Structure 1
Amino acid sequence: MPIDAFLLLSFGGPEGPDDVLPFLRNVTAGRGVPEERLLEVAEHYQHFGGVSPINEQCRVLLRAIEADFRDQGVGLPLYWGNRNWKPLLADTVARMRDDGITHAIALATSAYAGYSSCRQYLEDIEAARAHVGPGAPEITKLPHFYDRPGFIEPNADAVRDALAKVGGDAHLVFTAHSVPVSAARTAGPPADERSRESPGVRSGNLYEDQLREAARLVAERVDPALSWDLVWQSRSGPPQVPWLEPDVNDFLRTLPARNVVVSPIGFVSDHLEVVWDLDTEAAATAAELGMGYARAATAGTDPRFVRMVTDLVQEAFTPSDPRPSQGLGTLSRRQTCGAGCCPRQTRPRMGVGADERA
């Protein structure tokens, strides 16, 4: 079926004080999160006037993609749907049906494998199509892009800029959204695909493997001798449930370095989890320690990132093209989650963070 539209998939976020609690209730529906925890997280949003940056960042990205599509001769209409706030994906899919769209190609605002970052978007798509019913367009999700030059190179330049702000003797710290250890262990390919993984890859932990690969690629482009670590942020679960560690704030307290640069490699834009967890909380930890601190920018709407989106769409028009992968990494290429990959986790009374990683 020919591709006749482009769809941007994102997490969504509140755009005013009255949106905050309804948004958080959407995020946590069915998880048994107590109201006092929602009120605590709501304060993070109220610190910024009840507005998350993520929706406006999606609008800016869409405008940039639309302009690049024109430049590259890609004649597709563009749509946008969110998981948790307006424009909700089901409403967007209904509009696409009414516009006569039959097959859209979709980009999720997450570069990596994992339940929340990949599989849940596939579930969102199927739920929205089921809600719309007959005539709902087919929607194909674009592949993970964690090692594409259009993602790696803007991040490397952002690290260089941040290093220049703090001067020499800086340690580079990459961050990504923590997930339960059980989720990380099941984020890889099913057993019948594991034999195709590259040597040395920890099969069954593809989320962390892809993050480490992206971090390595960025660090090597900045300076092969640069010391770096991958740590975690935005944990939002009960203390008895193990999550990926260490937390960025705990890690900063162990660093002997005088200066640190933090690169949010797990995110594609400067949304709330970046500006709160890193620009506010981690920056305060560094100040407490007397440490020079700079946070590197995300890929955002860097022209190379936007062109990468266009390239992914153009490649989707010719799925049988025998050209090799355009990725820079050494992990085997997997287009999206396959059957049985990135399963939903059983999460006892899961917490909630700002949770805009994707």
Structure 2
Amino acid sequence: MADAQTPTDPAPYDALLLLSFGGPEGPEDVVPFLENVTRGRGIPKERLAEVGQHYFRFGGVSPINEQNRALLSALRKDFADHGLGLPVYWGNRNWAPYLVDALREIADDGHRRVAVLATSAYAGYSGCRQYRENLADALAVLAEEGRPVLTVDKLRHFYNHPGFVQPMIETTLAALAELPAGLRDRAELAFTTHSIPTAMAESSGSPDDPARGTPGGAYVAQHLEMAHLVAEAVAGATGVADRPWQLVYQSRSGAPHIPWLDPDICDHLTERQEAGAAAVVMVPIGFVSDHMEVKYDLDTEAVARAAELGLPVARAATVGADPRFAAAVRELLLERAATERGVPVARCALGRLGAGHDVCPAACCPNPRAPRPAAAQA
């Protein structure tokens, strides 16, 4: 076999789809958006209006769509700068521009083989399989409409790709620098991500992935790996080798009787203040951009809790449209394209877990309610 090489040819792919969650862009959008998010769960409209207060306090606008527009521009610029003549489209799960409309546009423009970047870096039902279920649903609609058949391939998880890790290291260092000079070397790190039911966390990932040593558990394992990579680099940059850090959770939304991952960030801040922590930097490694769950759950709720406690805090920015992340997407696409052509290729990943699988096994990250068709799986 030939030595692995750096690929430059996107074939067989002729388009990239940026696939994201979506969010409201005005007060009138909030409840319909939340109805889309919670469809099939029987939640009354009155309850959705209560939940929507998080959005209404920001004018009914989630930052996520604007941030996806910035990422879309960054991807197009990076592709153009590197001579990659591949069009980039954008579709959302829960709000316009909707996924099915994006796939219609792709088909009508004559493209047939689509690489998909989902804006979630980790394994898990909500961050991976549900997007693949959404793809299967949208492709079924196109088939019913008699449109040409599209083949879609979701790019692998990118939590340990240097283009995702390095920007988070720098934003963490920048957040430390926001603290008073006397607190910077004593500040702790709280790596935050979305809480999910513990049963869902335990079933996340591929049951036959030997990288973790045990079946499932990829959601937590991958976040711990990302946190370790950032904490290790921050220690090297600051010369503070024993800086405490912990993976914590936020944005729980489930019934109180169902166990979810914890501790919650606000509870963690309380515990650390009681333990005598000097300051805490919140590092949202579970999120690609500064969308509502970062702006409200961290910048509003967690900051308010810290103020009540008299605990100094700072918050690291997310990766967003950083050019290095856009370059990472290009590299992931070209890597997958080479693999599809049977060309040996270097798979870029930092840390101990290595690069994840390209194609999700059928038993990967199961739907917690009932099995459903999912695109891009073995």
Q: Which runs of 4+ in 1 moved over 3 A?
A: none
Contact persistence 2:31–2:45 (CA under 8 A) = no
Which of 288, 312, 317 pairs up with 1:297? 317
Superposition map of 1:175-214 within 5 A: 175-190=192-207, 193-194=208-209, 196-198=210-212, 201-214=213-226
Partner residue in 2 for 1:326: 348
Choose the corresponding residue for 2:170, options 157, 160, 164.
157
Match of 2:53 among 43, 48, 53: 43
Contact 1:186 1:343 in 2 (8 A): yes
- CA distance in 2 between partners of 1:50 and 1:128 (Å): 27
Say which SS state the counterpart of residue 338 (structure 2) adopts: coil
Q: For residues 52-111 of structure 1, what are the alpha-carbon distances to aligned partners after superposition, in whole Å with 9 as ceiling and x for unaligned?
A: 000010111000110100111111111111000001101111111111111111100010
Please list every run of 5 or more consecutive structure 1 residues that lacks an aligned counterpart in the other structure. Answer: 348-358
Instruction: State how many pairs are aligned.
Output: 342
Distance 2:102 2:333 in 1: 19
For 1:9, the aligned partner's letter is: L
- Report the AA paired with residue 97 of structure 2: P
Render the CA deviation track for 1:259-305: whole Å, top value 9, x for unaligned.
11000000010000000000000000110010111000001111111
Correspondence for 1:89 among 99, 102, 127: 99
1:113 maps onto 2:123 in alignment: yes
Unaligned runs of 5+ residues in structure 2 are 1-10, 236-240, 371-378
Cα separation, partners in 2 of 1:287 and 1:232, compared to 1, 3 Å: same
RMSD: 1.4
Partner residue, 1:218: 230
Corresponding position: 1:317 with 2:337: yes
Q: Percent identity?
A: 52
Q: What are the residue-to-residue correspondences of 1:263-302 with 2, within 5 Å?
A: 263-302=283-322
Greater C-alpha Rg: 2
Q: Which residue does 2:150 correspond to in 1? A: 137
Distance 2:101 2:57 in 1: 30
Note the alpha carbon deviations across 1:95-148, whole angstroms, 9 max, x for none.
Answer: 111111111111000100000101111111111111011414211110000000
User: What does residue 65 of structure 2 align with?
Assistant: 55
Deviations 1:294-350 (Å, cap 9, x if unpaired)?
Answer: 000001111111111111112122013434421002125322432111011139xxx
Question: What corresponds to 1:80 in structure 2?
Answer: 90
TM-score by length of structure 1 reads 0.93
Q: 1:24 aligns with which of 34, 57, 62?
A: 34
**Which of 331, 336, 339 does residue 362 from structure 2 map onto?**
339
State the TM-score, normalized to the length of structure 2.
0.88
- Tell me the SS of whatever aligns to 2:353: coil
Alignment of 1:15 onto 2:16 = no
What amino acid is aligned across from residue 350 of structure 2 in structure 1? L
Give the match for residue 248 of structure 2: 231
Does the 8 A contact of 2:17 with 2:88 survive in 1?
A: yes
Secondary structure in structure 2 of the residue aligned to 1:80: strand
Instruction: Compute the displacement of 1:2 (Å).
Output: 2.1
Once the two structures are overlaid, the 10-residue window that deviates more, 83-92 or 164-173, is: 164-173
Secondary structure of 1:253's counterpart equals helix
Aligned to 1:350: none
Q: Tell me the CA shift for residue 155 of structure 1.
A: 0.2
Contact 2:338 2:345 (C-alpha < 8 Å) held by counterparts: no
- Alpha-carbon distance between aligned partners in 2 of 1:16 and 1:221, rounded to the nearest angstrom: 40
Q: Which residue of 2 aligns with 1:356?
A: none
Shift of 1:238: 0.8
